[in-house]
């Protein structure tokens, strides 16, 4: 695909637009909710047990410690100051085996998330990362969903407001084309070409058999090329019971998205064969908006609807004594967030 066609595809498909192009037009809506709450940074009260309400600069390890342990992967925290030898000792003690996943403790858009196959790869990652990071066992399930959950303070049960199925970025062979040629045939994968070239190495020139699928990025991240499909219509009472059973055990968690690996949707609804790999608080998007079939106007409607829910939850929690961020601390938090994103983008 030519550079011009690729640029045109990005321009005509809003899901690839930069953050500011999608969210800045909605600033008046955020301002309205800020006036209603009497705080620009009202989100701090959305999830009182999470730093900054889970909007940004929150430790993933702290969130994992909130989740009932039977629902999460084995996870080890590696401080930035430790040597690779010290980090490796933690991994051995936790009985985490190759391959495993490493990710920044304070994560942003799946930047820095990597699958590690050898001790040399682990050492290279630890020496290059600018922050604390986590090591997690690799979960064998191959399907992932993002489930948005909201529970108003004082309510007996919460509700699911959106479900997205995440299709990992992959190519399918035709028996004659190299992986790099297959990547260039699809704009979704072609847009990841540079990152994939660094990651795949010699596999870039491998010829796949006819019908053979090759997963390029084994993570359900939109910024890493995953396709998001809105399956909110599959919502049922069994799934709500499972998710509410998890979230209700988390102290003062009211608003956010659970990313869940599972074997099948039916088993997930039955509470079987699944693992919660992430929970995002106030900063979590209702990612079903990124379904290619949804218009930008649909996305704006869902974003503002969820902001309204977060605003309501925050105001109710504020009345119970939970604080908002003041403007100075809120602005400092955003600056830290942007600085960290610039660092971990290059891992």
The pLDDT tens digits for 309-323 are 999 999 999 999 999
Q: Do 320 and 236 fall into the same domain? A: yes
* CA gap 72, 214 in Å, rounded: 27
pLDDT digits (tens, 9 = 90+) for 324-342: 999 999 999 999 998 888 8
Residue 2 belongs to some domain of the structure: no
pLDDT digits (tens, 9 = 90+) for 268-278: 999 999 999 99
Instruction: Assign residue 122 the CATH number of its domain.
Output: 3.30.1490.20
pLDDT tops 80 at residue 112: yes
Helices (H) and strands (E) in the chain, counts: 13, 11
Alpha carbon separation from 210 to 134, 175, 183, 213, 216 (Å, rounded): 38, 4, 15, 9, 17
Structurally, the chain folds into a number of domains equal to 3
Report if pTM > 0.75.
yes
Q: Do 237 and 322 fall into the same domain? A: yes
Nearest to 105 by CA among 79, 137, 71, 66: 79
pLDDT digits (tens, 9 = 90+) for 152-211: 999 999 999 999 999 999 999 999 999 999 999 999 999 999 999 988 988 999 999 999
* CA gap 272, 25 in Å, rounded: 42
Residue 347 belongs to some domain of the structure: no
Task: Give me the domain span that covers residue 259.
Answer: 12-59+67-72+141-167+227-338
Provide the token pair at 69: 């342990």
What is the predicted pLDDT for the residue at 2?
86
Q: Do 233 and 305 fall into the same domain? A: yes
């Amino acid at each position: 695909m030519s550079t011009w066609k690729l640029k045109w595809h990005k321009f005509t498909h809003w899901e690839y637009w930069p953050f500011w192009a999608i969210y800045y037009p909605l600033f008046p809506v955020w301002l309205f909710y800020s006036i209603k709450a009497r705080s620009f940074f009202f989100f701090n009260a959305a999830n009182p047990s999470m730093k900054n309400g889970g909007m940004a600069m929150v430790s993933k390890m702290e969130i994992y410690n909130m989740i009932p342990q039977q629902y999460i992967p084995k996870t080890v925290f590696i401080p930035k100051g430790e040597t690779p030898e010290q980090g490796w000792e933690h991994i051995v003690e936790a009985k985490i085996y190759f391959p495993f996943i490493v990710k920044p403790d304070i994560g942003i858009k799946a930047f820095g998330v990597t699958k590690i196959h050898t001790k040399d790869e682990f050492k290279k990652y630890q020496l290059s990362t600018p922050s604390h990071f986590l090591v997690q066992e690799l979960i064998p399930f191959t399907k992932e969903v993002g489930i948005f959950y909201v529970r108003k303070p004082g309510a007996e049960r919460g509700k699911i407001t959106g479900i997205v199925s995440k299709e990992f970025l992959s190519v399918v062979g035709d028996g004659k084309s190299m992986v790099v040629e297959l990547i260039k045939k699809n704009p979704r994968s072609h847009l990841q070409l540079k990152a994939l070239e660094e990651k795949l190495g010699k596999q870039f020139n491998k010829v796949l058999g006819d019908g053979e699928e090759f997963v390029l990025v084994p993570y359900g991240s939109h910024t890493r090329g995953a396709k998001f499909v809105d399956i909110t219509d599959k919502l049922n009472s069994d799934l709500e019971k499972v998710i509410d059973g998890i979230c209700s055990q988390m102290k003062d968690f009211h608003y956010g998205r659970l990313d869940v690996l599972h074997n099948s949707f039916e088993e997930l609804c039955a509470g079987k064969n699944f693992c919660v790999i992430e929970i995002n608080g106030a900063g979590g998007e209702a990612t079903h908006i990124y379904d290619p079939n949804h218009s930008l106007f649909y996305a704006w409607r869902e974003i503002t609807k969820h902001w309204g829910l977060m605003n309501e939850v925050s105001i109710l929690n504020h009345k119970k004594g939970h604080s908002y961020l003041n403007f100075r601390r809120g602005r400092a938090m955003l600056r830290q967030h942007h600085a960290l994103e610039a660092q971990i983008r290059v891992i």
